[in-house]
């Protein structure tokens, strides 16, 4: 698929097809001084198009003429940008496997997303909900839900979405980003498949959490969803491939008896900012996210 810098205004997602909320879809014609196509002031990567929805620009890896097995949204970190997280998870690979992939742009704040979970549904949660509705209204996708893949601050936001709009999600993959905020404000009882990937060597976002930013530990994060997903205390352990060229490997724990999976993959000797191997990541989270080869 070649890059494009403009799209037709789509009218099928204006009212009822998008859950009753109004949508505006605008052509994107941003260029830099060299005439290079831009999306949210960043170069558009190969295989993507830039689509504006409700005032934000998004990278979309997909085609309206195709039929997709599911929808995946990739959420970038802070600082971060759409193409980076699309590269970490390899959006083109996911699209070739049959999944529509959208990488939305953050809100421009220091945290990039409204990820400090409280009792109020955040603007970003509403935006992602609308974006999911938009995708299902304008592309041919099985089901009506989405999988959220978040890296770092995008992982924080992925857990917020699992609290705020779980009915729209089938699964969450969080890479180096756990729950942020108040667990008491996350009172949902709707199970969502969770696969958390994190390295004990991560110094930027420690697995133990940190007080600054109200970042919970990975243990506390998973304990919260083990209860929601009705899991037993027992888990099985498996060896998985390394997710970087220098890592010795990955150890994965999968809890038993869950209504929908809860899984933790411990990445051995992996820094927060790393050159992740997207195919290895896919091999690790594929089963828990019920993805096809």
Query: Are 216 and 183 within 8 A, CB to CB?
Result: yes
For 186-227, the pLDDT digits (tens) are 999 999 999 999 999 999 999 999 999 999 999 999 999 999
Q: State the pLDDT at residue 250.
A: 98
CATH 3.40.50.1820 applies to domain 16-285: yes
Q: State the pLDDT at residue 21.
A: 30
Q: State the pLDDT at residue 3.
A: 35
pTM for the complete prediction? 0.89
C-alpha to C-alpha distance for 200 and 238, rounded to whole angstroms: 17
For 44-61, the pLDDT digits (tens) are 999 999 999 999 999 999
Token digits for 175? 């890479």
Q: State the pLDDT at residue 119.
A: 85
Q: What strands lie across the sheet with 49-53, from one edge to the other?
A: 25-26, 49-53, 56-61, 99-104, 70-75, 146-151, 169-175, 193-198, 262-267, 250-255, 235-240
Q: Which residues contact 106 (CB under 8 A, 6 or more apart)?
A: 75, 76, 78, 80, 112, 113, 124, 153
CA dihedral 271, 111, 145, 184 (to 10 degrees): 100
- Write the secondary structure of the chain as one string of H (helix), E (strand) and C (coil): CCCCCCCCCCCCCCCHHHCCCCCCEECCCCECCCCCEEECCEECCCCCEEEEECCEEEEEECCCCCEECEEEEEECCCCCCHHHHHHHCCHHHHHHCCEEEEEECCCCCCCCCCCCECCCCCHHHHHHHHHHHHHHHHCEECCCCEEEEEECHHHHHHHHHHHHCHHHEEEEEEECCCCEECHHHCCCCCCCEEEEEECCCCCCCCCCCECCCCECCHHHHHHHHHHHCCCCCCEEEEEECCCCCCCCCEEEEEECCCCCCEEEEEECCCCCCCCCCHHHHHHHHCCCCCCCC
Domains of the chain, by residue range, sit at 16-285
Query: With a cut of 50, which residues of the chain have pLDDT below it?
Result: 1-27, 29, 31-34
């Amino acid at each position: 698929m070649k890059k494009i810098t403009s799209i037709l205004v789509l009218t099928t997602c204006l009212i009822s097809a998008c859950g009753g909320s109004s949508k505006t879809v605008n052509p994107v014609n941003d260029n830099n001084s060299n005439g290079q196509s831009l999306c949210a002031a960043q170069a558009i990567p190969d295989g993507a198009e830039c689509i504006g929805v409700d005032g934000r620009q998004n990278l979309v890896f997909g085609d309206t003429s195709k039929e997709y097995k599911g929808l995946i949204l990739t959420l970038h970190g802070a600082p971060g940008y759409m193409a980076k997280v699309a590269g970490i998870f390899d959006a083109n690979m996911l699209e070739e496997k049959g999944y529509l992939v959208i990488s939305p742009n953050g809100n421009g704040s220091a945290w990039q997303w409204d990820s400090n979970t409280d009792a109020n549904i955040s603007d970003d949660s509403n935006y992602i909900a609308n974006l999911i509705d938009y995708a299902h209204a304008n592309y041919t996708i099985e089901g009506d839900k989405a999988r959220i893949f978040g890296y770092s601050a995008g992982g924080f936001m992925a857990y917020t979405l699992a609290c705020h709009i779980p009915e729209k999600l089938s699964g969450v993959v969080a890479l180096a980003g756990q729950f942020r905020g108040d667990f008491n404000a996350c009172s949902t009882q709707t199970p969502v498949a969770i696969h958390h990937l994190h390295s004990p060597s991560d110094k930027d976002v420690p697995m133990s959490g940190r007080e600054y930013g109200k970042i919970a530990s990975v243990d506390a994060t998973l304990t919260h969803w083990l209860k929601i997903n009705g899991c037993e205390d027992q888990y099985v352990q498996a060896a998985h491939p390394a997710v970087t060229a220098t890592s010795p490997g990955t150890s994965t724990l999968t809890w038993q008896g869950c209504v929908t999976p809860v899984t933790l993959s411990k990445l051995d000797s992996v820094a927060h900012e790393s050159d992740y191997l997207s195919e290895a990541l896919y091999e690790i989270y594929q089963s828990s996210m019920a993805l096809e080869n």
